Amino acid sequence: MNTTEHVVETVGLVKRRGDFTLGPLDLRVPRGFVTGMVGANGSGKTTTLRTLLGLVRADAGRIAMPPIGEVGVVFDQPFVLPYWRVRDAAAVYAASRPGWDQDWFDRLCRRLRLGADERVNKLSRGQGNKLMIALAMGNHPDLLILDEPTSGLDPAARADLVDLLREHMRRQDASLLFSTHITSDLEHFADYLVFVDGGQVVYSGAVDELVEEFAHIQGALTDLTAENTPLIRGLRRGQHNFDGIIRTADTAGFGPGVQIETPTIERIVVHHMRPRDEEP
Ligand SMILES: Nc1ncnc2c1ncn2[C@@H]1O[C@H](COP(=O)(O)OP(=O)(O)OP(=O)(O)O)[C@@H](O)[C@H]1O
């Protein structure tokens, strides 16, 4: 059993891609937990994951990760050939991944209703995603890294996938790092969240703490003052009302007329990413 607290740790990680610069990133992914990475399109999620895995070379910084054989990876392009059957894909993975557990993989396939003889190019997108994740899980890797595993899946397929990932997490010390645009995937599933914006980590911490740290605020425009308006992130003004996100610690800056509630992760992320409304 590995006793280090973090399964992935970077110090001063930098990757430049054209005009875009990722980092410097000091990223820590807790061992034994589910960490979700969110951020707007182009914020640097895929670049982070690819750089961690050495698929693109970092320009600066240090990365501590499990050995590559202990990392299961799924990106949006499948690493299988279209004419393979499910069993051929499994044979190729089995040959290249130490610790391959064929019984476990067969069990996963049964749960996912994937037949060993099915051709990979005949699978639907959802089934294809599930196959890739089952393959990535087939040797019980210490760490699974998944880039947008649920994108393009219907709610039932997403729920199946989340079940599958929970199964993986039952193993002691198993860790999961995944990126997503579907913030509802984070609620009740992710333990930690990394929020990336413009190539920087703007928040990293426990989901529960994030929800406690911020509050959703709604009120009448007349509740806004020159002092309290700058405290609101992602302020949206309607004709009479406003809403946005504030730090819980800033609640006292608002009068009794406003409504303050525990936010969903979705709300925090959406408001955080939304540019401030112009003054009317
Ligand atoms: N091969 C490349 N060459 C040059 N620039 C690139 C390359 N790949 C990505 N970029 C740039 O790096 C930035 C970050 O892209 P990245 O794919 O990491 O974002 P992302 O957060 O994963 O976005 P999305 O949510 O849309 O998948 C973007 O501005 C993109 O244009």
On whether the CB atoms of residues 215 and 262 are closer than 8 A, the answer is yes
The range of the structural domain enclosing residue 247 comes to 210-273
Residue with tokens 């995944």: 178
168 or 185, which is more confident: 168
- Confidence band, pLDDT 50/70/90 cuts, at residue 280: very low
Residues 6+ apart with CB under 8 A from 217: 232, 243, 244, 245, 246, 254, 258, 259, 260
Residues of the chain with pLDDT > 90, as a percent, come to 55
Number of domains observed in the structure of the chain: 2
Tokens of 28: 């820590």
Cβ of 129 closer than 6 Å to ligand 1, yes or no, is: no
Supply the ipTM of this predicted assembly: 0.95
**Domain limit, last residue, from 198, 232, 256:** 198
Note whether 235 and 229 are within 8 A (CB): yes
Mean predicted lDDT score pLDDT of the chain: 88
Q: pLDDT category, 279, cuts 50, 70, 90?
A: very low
Q: Could you tell me the distance, in angstroms and rounded to a whole number, from the CA of residue 90 to the centre of ligand 1?
A: 31
Radius of gyration of the chain (CA): 21
175 Cβ inside 6 Å of ligand 1: no
Q: Could you say which of 198, 225, 256 is where a domain stops?
A: 198
Number of H helices, E strands in the chain: 7, 14
Same domain, 136 and 184: yes
Residues 229 and 156 in one domain: no
CATH number at residue 232: 3.30.70
**What is the best residue among 14, 47, 75, 273 to mutate for testing ligand 1's pocket, by most ligand atoms within 8 Å of CB?**
47
Band of residue 14 on the pLDDT scale cut at 50, 70, 90? very high
21 C-beta closer than 6 A to ligand 1 = no
Domain end (from 198, 229, 256): 198
Q: Residues 47-69: pLDDT tens digits? A: 999 999 988 999 999 999 998 88
- Closest atom, ligand 1, to C-alpha of 43: 21
Token couple for 194 = 């990394």
Q: Are residues 98 and 158 both part of a single domain? A: yes
